[in-house]
Amino acid sequence: MAIVLYDLVGVDDRRFSPNCWRTRLALAHKGLDCDARPTRFTEIGSICGGGQKTIPVIEDGDSIVGDSWAIANYLEDTYPDRPSLFGGDGGRAVSVFFQNWVNTIVNPGVIKSVIADIHDHLTPEDQGYFRATRENFLGGRLEDIQSGREERLAAFRATLTPLRQTLKAGPFVCGDGPLYADYLAFAPFQWARSISPFKLLDDDDPITGWFQRCLDLYDGLGRQSKGYD
């Protein structure tokens, strides 16, 4: 039986949530069938009998697991004979730091570049919710936050130096093949690709080549998803 993933969706079936992409690729990495059910922001409260506040959430038989990091650990521990997401306990440990780097350095740079574009690719029901919650959290109008993204681009790209250095030395963050850290870093760029034509990376950036390789993984799972190319 396929594992159900409640997967955030905008208009045109755009699957844009970075945290859902972490889970989507973790499931594919493990070779587990996935029923990725399109879920709008305003539907999250009614999935799994209610009580969920964020997605991803997965249903695996009787198990309901939320939070992308908890899901990755659940999959690793529940399916130990399938390809490892972490490559051992040390990989799991250092992936915590890597996730913190993505969450505190990459994601904020991406969100400030595309937050109004996210809004513009949501269904009308979700637009009001998104604007109210994000403008309250970020302390400004979405359009004002996004404004000036061209001028901030060089500084954003500079924050990616450690990732760029790593990808100069090998095809994936984790070497010859991807592990969960690759999916952590892929997620914010797939987020942007899904809902914005804004070009975050130069064509000759090693991060661009790696992102294209990630889009091709698992029969083009990421590339087949609606986005701007």
Which residues of this protein are in contact with a second copy, per CB under 8 A?
A: 84, 86-98, 100-101, 103-105, 161-163, 165-166, 169-170, 173-175, 179, 181
Q: How far is the CB of 104 from a second copy (least distance, A)?
A: 5
- Tokens, residue 150: 């061209």
- Closer CB to a second copy, 83 or 220, in the complex: 83
The residues near 115 (Cβ < 8 Å, ≥ 6 apart) are 134, 138, 142, 145, 146
Helix count and strand count (H, E) for the chain: 10, 4
CA 64 to CA 62: how far, in whole Å? 7
Q: How far is the CB of 125 from a second copy (least distance, A)?
A: 34
141: alpha, beta or left, given left = phi > 0 and alpha = psi -120 to 50? beta
- Closer CB to a second copy, 116 or 160, in the complex: 160
The β-bridge relationship of strands 57-60 and 34-39 is unpaired
- Closer CB to a second copy, 99 or 225, in the complex: 99
- Closer CB to a second copy, 128 or 170, in the complex: 170
- Closer CB to a second copy, 19 or 166, in the complex: 166
Q: How far is the CB of 131 from a second copy (least distance, A)?
A: 27
Q: Within 13 Å, how many C-alpha atoms sit on residue 12's CB side?
A: 12
3-class DSSP state of 36: strand
- Closer CB to a second copy, 79 or 129, in the complex: 79
CA 42 to CA 59: how far, in whole Å? 19
Which residues does residue 57 pair with via DSSP β-bridges, in sequence order?
6, 66
- 116 within 8 A of 142, measured Cβ to Cβ: yes
Q: How far is the CB of 190 from a second copy (least distance, A)?
A: 19
CA 200 to CA 194: how far, in whole Å? 13
Q: How far is the CB of 69 from a second copy (least distance, A)?
A: 11
Which residues does residue 64 pair with via DSSP β-bridges, in sequence order?
59
- Closer CB to a second copy, 51 or 175, in the complex: 175
- Tokens, residue 226: 């609606």
Q: How far is the CB of 10 from a second copy (least distance, A)?
A: 29
Q: How far is the CB of 28 from a second copy (least distance, A)?
A: 17
